[in-house]
Structures are given as structure tokens and as C-alpha cells.
Amino acid sequence: MNVRAIDFVVVNVSDIDRSMRFYRDTLGVAFPLTEDGAGWKEFDTPPVAMALRLDRQNPGANAAIALAVEDVRAAVEELRAKGVTITIEPGESDVCYAAMIQDPDGNLLLLHQRKDGTAG
């Protein structure tokens, strides 16, 4: 597996609407959303996007870094064989494929593959 770029950072939040108000109204993050789902809001904040992820079990525990890879499924299998903890198996959204892993300290890392082939 080779990391191509950092695609985005993720902030885990307990209330996505409250967090949207905080980031937009209080902090002035006035960038357009590239994804606007019930549990995921992704701001187009160049050069690295920032996403709010609904996580009622571990909000505020940490932020996650999304690492761009060529093939999420292959990367997960390679890392699984190396004993890496896979916390979310590969899945698909309208724009990408993604999975979540943990580093040795439990920090979250997303493996991310955009369908349009871009990274960073």
C-alpha cells in the first residue's frame, strides 16, 4: 500500500446540526459542502477538506486523517494480514470508497479512494 496524499480530516461529533452551526456560524467555515448526508458533512476547505462525522459513541475523542490510496479493498486486506485493526470494513458512497483502521494507539485513519481518481 502506498499513501498518495491526505484527502481530508474528520472531526467526530455527537450532534451534526449543532456542529454545523458551530463551524459555520461561530468559526466562519463558510465553504461549500461537497457531501451533505445525515451523518456526514464535508466542507470544501482547500487544500485539505474537513468533514464532520456523526459519532454518538466517541465524539470529540479524536480527529481522523483520510489517507488516499489506490485501492481501499486491497489496502484493507494487506493491512489485515499485517495485524492492523480494521474498525469499519470497506464501503461505498456516491463519490468514494472508504474503510477505517486504527493505529497502535487507537487513532482513527480512513483509507480513502475517490471514484474520480483524484487525491489530496
pLDDT tens, residue by residue, 44-80: 988 899 999 998 887 876 778 899 999 999 999 999 9
Contacts of 87 by beta carbon, 8 Å cutoff, 6+ apart: 100, 101, 102, 108
The pTM of the whole model exceeds 0.75: no
- Residues 13, 19 contacting (CB under 8 angstroms): yes
User: Which part of the chain has CATH 3.10.180.10?
Assistant: 8-61, 62-120
CATH superfamily entry for domain 62-120: 2,3-Dihydroxybiphenyl 1,2-Dioxygenase, domain 1 (3.10.180.10)
Strands 49-54 and 5-13: parallel
CATH superfamily entry for domain 8-61: 2,3-Dihydroxybiphenyl 1,2-Dioxygenase, domain 1 (3.10.180.10)
Half-sphere exposure for 30 (CA within 13 Å, toward CB): 3
Strands 108-114 and 63-68: parallel
